[in-house]
Structure 1
Amino acid sequence: MRGQIARALFCAAAARLPIRVRLSGSGQLGAGPASAPLMTVHDPGAFFTRLGAGGLIGFGESYLAGEWDCEDLTGLLTVFASHVGNLVPSPLARLRRLAMRGQPAADEQTRKGARRNIGRHYDLSNEFFALFLDETMTYSSALFETTADGSPVGRMLGQAQRRKIGRLLDQARVVPGCRLLEIGTGWGGLAIQAAQRGAVVRTVTISERQHEHTARLVAEAGLSGQVSVELRDYRDVEGEYDVICSVEMIEAVGERYWDTYFAQLDHLLAPGGRVALQAITMPHDAMMASRGSYTWIQKYIFPGGLIPSVTAIENSLRRSTRLRVVQRHDFGAHYAQTLRIWRDRFIARRDEVAALDFDEVFARMWLFYLCYAEAGFRAGYLDVSQLTLERP
């Protein structure tokens, strides 16, 4: 019965969206022109069964299973993201929210849980991430040059990542000799660039692979006396710092620990210091509507996380700190461009993914993730911001 209901709802949605859907053994659905994304459902029975049982999680799982395909996957998902609020009639959407499954308790971002969750993603393989990231191994939105109307241009990803880091360090007022703490090391791009400016850097991560890579990178750059790389949870850091930087870390903290995270930043920041954050965000009403749900991204890519709104960040700061947002720069279109380049590189090197012993289901999962995220930014459902925090 759930499969039948899912079929009816999906076909009704497809009939009013600018897409085309071809069901094996049936005709074509959709209101889109010949140029619209074409979704080909190879096994309608399995697809609608999964969709009925798991909603959007089932939709993604059906793609992983090869039950449907689309050559313009990003375009298709962008249409769905642009209409996410009205894909299901309001009465049924309210009923669905009552039955929504929350995130598993095992994904809670305790110290033990956070290390396990980070390991499931960031410790997959440094060689795997190197297939699609730039030479700096920066795994966050780049900042490209722009046209007169502010649109990002160019595909020089390494240059755009250095520009992004440079802007963050500028807004934090990083100068020679300043004490800089980075929460969430990544693969060392920010720590190296800050040290090259003369900062004394302490960077902490709970990813073993990222720790190994960055420690080796720092040593090869001759910066071991200037950069300390530690395998440590942000909650266990002590000291006082003139600057604290944290790039796309808040999304992995978990809503329950947002106040803890910001209180720790306030505790560690020296008088007169600055915090520079880069955060993926979503509109506040969308965050409030989705905060209790369990999504495909949480199940397969980022367990335990939640993307905040800027409002949620400001509310947490007021509750738990003396810090306030004094500067904000939004550049979501640049994340869409970043993800497009990652996607193109991933597709071009897909054979090498298999050579690293990742199977076809894994490859489809990562392609779906990259397209899913890009669609969110292209539809305006997601944004990314650089935020500067100070004490008044």
Structure 2
Amino acid sequence: MTTSAPTPVTQPLCLRRPALRVLCLRARVARGILASVARRVPVEVRLPDGSTLTGEPATTGRPVLEVVRPTALFERLAHHPKIGIGEAYMAGDWRAAPGTDLADVLRPFAERMTTAVPPGLLALRALVDRRIPTATRNSLLGSRRNIEAHYDLSNEMFALFLDETLSYSSALFDRSPEAGPVTTQDLEAAQLRKVAGILDQAKVTLGSRVLEIGTGWGTLAIEAARRGAHVTTVTLSREQAALAAERVRAAGLDDLVDIRVQDYREVQGRFDAVVSVEMIEAVGEEYWPTYFRTIDERLVPGGIAAVQSILMSHDRLQATKHSYGWIQKHIFPGGLIPSLEAIDATTREHTALRVTDVRAFGTDYAETLRRWRERFLAAWPQVAALGFDETFRRKWEFYLAYCEAGFATGYLDVAQIRMERSGTTTG
């Protein structure tokens, strides 16, 4: 099994003799922009000859980004800045220097996401941004295609780096003083704490009728059933559904859990609780009203919804929601991270639901992603044995480190959000 390759980089037309290593005009412009960014960010960008991109002396204590193939890197950045940096890492055009963690290289950029690029260059954003392809719209057919592209990669691959719960969403670590440092806490216990948190938020208990939108590999459904709830859980991933069914049978909970390969828009019936963990990111802004309307319509009077969502600031959402990025091209086609303001506005305009509780824990996601990346890299020989290539390895290393940096700096957040119908707040 192979992975999608980065956009090919051809030799610049203005290179008459490769030995001269003369960059073409577009690459020179890209190099200049990157040098300008590097002056604003405490990361040393080191060229193959040992010099720095800015021409300034090397500085000790800074994370070091090593440029391996300058021409290819600058050409990719010139072709598409938002996608080019990730594709250049996939291709091996740059790397974190030995002894430097990749997330440490990316973190200063994430901290300065809105200030690293000079204002004059930001004004040219519209000239380089690409629109999101219409083929990734989350229609009934498109959603199935988008979900399969990521979640049907290989159950075996995911199992090699996830914990025993097979939870592919942020864990919730114990922040009490007696729990000790987060970095030493058990990941499985933290994932079960996350599941318990959202089930408590939705008041799932003995006899509750629960709809779960986005099955994953079944852990939330199993834990809800262990409380005595009757669970209907839907997913578009056949791979996930098959393994989730095995896990439910192994837990002896077949009579309480109904797993369906079904779009959330096609579910019928009424439920006491609707829960959904990191599913809204795959819905797309166009379908947010449908998603929340469906949740509203599936709840009985007095029912509660609890949604765990990755979040970004509303300003960043407005600035980037129509722009096609590396994550959308290579990891989550059709994906878009909402803001809390967007969730609140959508529910108010299209449903009777109101946000009544928000529990944020973004730094816990940074720690979760750090654990996943360590496990993924440690398990690479086994992952490679499944048929994945080196480009896939670099893609996933970049993806996990990129997201870790986002959560560690507060550029991204994650929260469990309770929603109830207006006038029925339970406290």
Normalising to structure 1: TM-score of the pair?
0.97
After TM superposition, give the deviation of residue 3 of structure 1 in Å: 1.1
* Structure 1 residue aligned with 2:47: 23
- Aligned pair partner of 2:206 in 176, 180, 183: 176
* Structure 1 residue aligned with 2:120: 91
Deviation string, structure 1 residues 93-130 (Cα, Å, up to 9, x no partner): 12222442111111000011110110010000000000
Q: Give distance in 1, aligned partners of 2:241 and 2:50.
A: 52
- Aligned pair partner of 1:78 in 86, 101, 107: 107
Q: Give distance in 2, aligned partners of 1:364 and 1:65.
A: 8
* Structure 1 residue aligned with 2:80: 54
Instruction: Verify: 1:113 aligned to 2:133, yes or no.
Output: no
Instruction: Verify: 1:63 aligned to 2:63, yes or no.
Output: no
Do the aligned residues in 1 keep the contact of 2:36 with 2:117 (CA within 8 Å)?
no
Q: Give distance in 2, aligned partners of 1:165 and 1:22.
A: 44
Q: Give distance in 1, aligned partners of 2:380 and 2:160.
A: 9
After TM superposition, give the deviation of residue 368 of structure 1 in Å: 0.4
- Aligned pair partner of 1:11 in 28, 35, 42: 35
After TM superposition, give the deviation of residue 152 of structure 1 in Å: 3.9
Structure 1 residues 149 and 288: alpha-carbon distance in aligned structure 2, compared to 1, 3 A threshold: farther
Instruction: Verify: 1:41 aligned to 2:67, yes or no.
Output: yes
Do the aligned residues in 2 keep the contact of 1:178 with 1:199 (CA within 8 Å)?
yes
Instruction: Verify: 1:154 aligned to 2:184, yes or no.
Output: yes
Deviation string, structure 1 residues 215-256 (Cα, Å, up to 9, x no partner): 111112111111000000000000000000000001000010
Instruction: Verify: 1:340 aligned to 2:389, yes or no.
Output: no
Instruction: Provide the secondary structure at the position in 2 that maps to 1:62.
Output: helix
After TM superposition, give the deviation of residue 21 of structure 1 in Å: 1.3
Instruction: Verify: 1:259 aligned to 2:289, yes or no.
Output: yes
Normalising to structure 2: TM-score of the pair?
0.89
After TM superposition, give the deviation of residue 185 of structure 1 in Å: 0.2
After TM superposition, give the deviation of residue 154 of structure 1 in Å: 2.9
Q: Give distance in 2, aligned partners of 1:351 and 1:295.
A: 29
Instruction: Verify: 1:316 aligned to 2:342, yes or no.
Output: no
Q: Give distance in 2, aligned partners of 1:28 and 1:89.
A: 20
Q: Give distance in 2, aligned partners of 1:127 and 1:153.
A: 26
Q: Give distance in 1, aligned partners of 2:26 and 2:111.
A: 25
- Aligned pair partner of 1:139 in 154, 160, 168: 168
Q: Give distance in 1, aligned partners of 2:412 and 2:178.
A: 20
After TM superposition, give the deviation of residue 72 of structure 1 in Å: 1.6
Do the aligned residues in 1 keep the contact of 2:36 with 2:118 (CA within 8 Å)?
no
Q: Give distance in 1, aligned partners of 2:45 and 2:308.
A: 38
After TM superposition, give the deviation of residue 354 of structure 1 in Å: 0.8
Matched to 1:93, the amino acid is L
RMSD (Å) for aligned C-alpha atoms:
1.5
Deviation string, structure 1 residues 16-45 (Cα, Å, up to 9, x no partner): 321111111351246884222111101111
Q: Give distance in 2, aligned partners of 1:149 and 1:340.
A: 23
Instruction: Provide the secondary structure at the position in 2 that maps to 1:47.
Output: helix
Q: Which has the larger radius of gyration?
A: 2
Deviation string, structure 1 residues 146-179 (Cα, Å, up to 9, x no partner): 1559984534110000001001111111110110
Do the aligned residues in 2 keep the contact of 1:195 with 1:201 (CA within 8 Å)?
yes
Deviation string, structure 1 residues 120-147 (Cα, Å, up to 9, x no partner): 1000000000011000100000001115
Q: Give distance in 1, aligned partners of 2:186 and 2:61.
A: 29
Q: Give distance in 2, aligned partners of 1:220 and 1:45.
A: 54
After TM superposition, give the deviation of residue 90 of structure 1 in Å: 1.7
* Structure 2 residue aligned with 1:126: 155
Which deviates the most, 335-344 or 80-89? Answer: 80-89
Gap runs ≥5 in structure 2:
1-24, 423-427
Matched to 1:9, the amino acid is I
After TM superposition, give the deviation of residue 353 of structure 1 in Å: 1.3
After TM superposition, give the deviation of residue 6 of structure 1 in Å: 0.9
After TM superposition, give the deviation of residue 263 of structure 1 in Å: 0.3
Matched to 2:327, the amino acid is I
Instruction: Verify: 1:163 aligned to 2:193, yes or no.
Output: yes
Instruction: Provide the secondary structure at the position in 1 that maps to 2:322.
Output: coil
Do the aligned residues in 2 keep the contact of 1:101 with 1:294 (CA within 8 Å)?
yes
Which deviates the most, 267-276 or 83-92? Answer: 83-92
* Structure 2 residue aligned with 1:236: 266
Do the aligned residues in 2 keep the contact of 1:172 with 1:275 (CA within 8 Å)?
yes
* Structure 2 residue aligned with 1:205: 235
Do the aligned residues in 2 keep the contact of 1:144 with 1:154 (CA within 8 Å)?
no
Matched to 1:106, the amino acid is A
Matched to 1:308, the amino acid is P
Matched to 1:138, the amino acid is S
After TM superposition, give the deviation of residue 86 of structure 1 in Å: 2.0
Count of residue pairs brought into register by the alignment: 392
Q: Give distance in 1, aligned partners of 2:49 and 2:140.
A: 51
Do the aligned residues in 2 keep the contact of 1:144 with 1:153 (CA within 8 Å)?
no
Matched to 2:29, the amino acid is I
Which deviates the most, 9-18 or 321-330? Answer: 9-18
Do the aligned residues in 1 keep the contact of 2:43 with 2:105 (CA within 8 Å)?
yes
Deviation string, structure 1 residues 252-300 (Cα, Å, up to 9, x no partner): 0001000000000000000011001100000000110000100000000
- Aligned pair partner of 1:246 in 270, 276, 281: 276
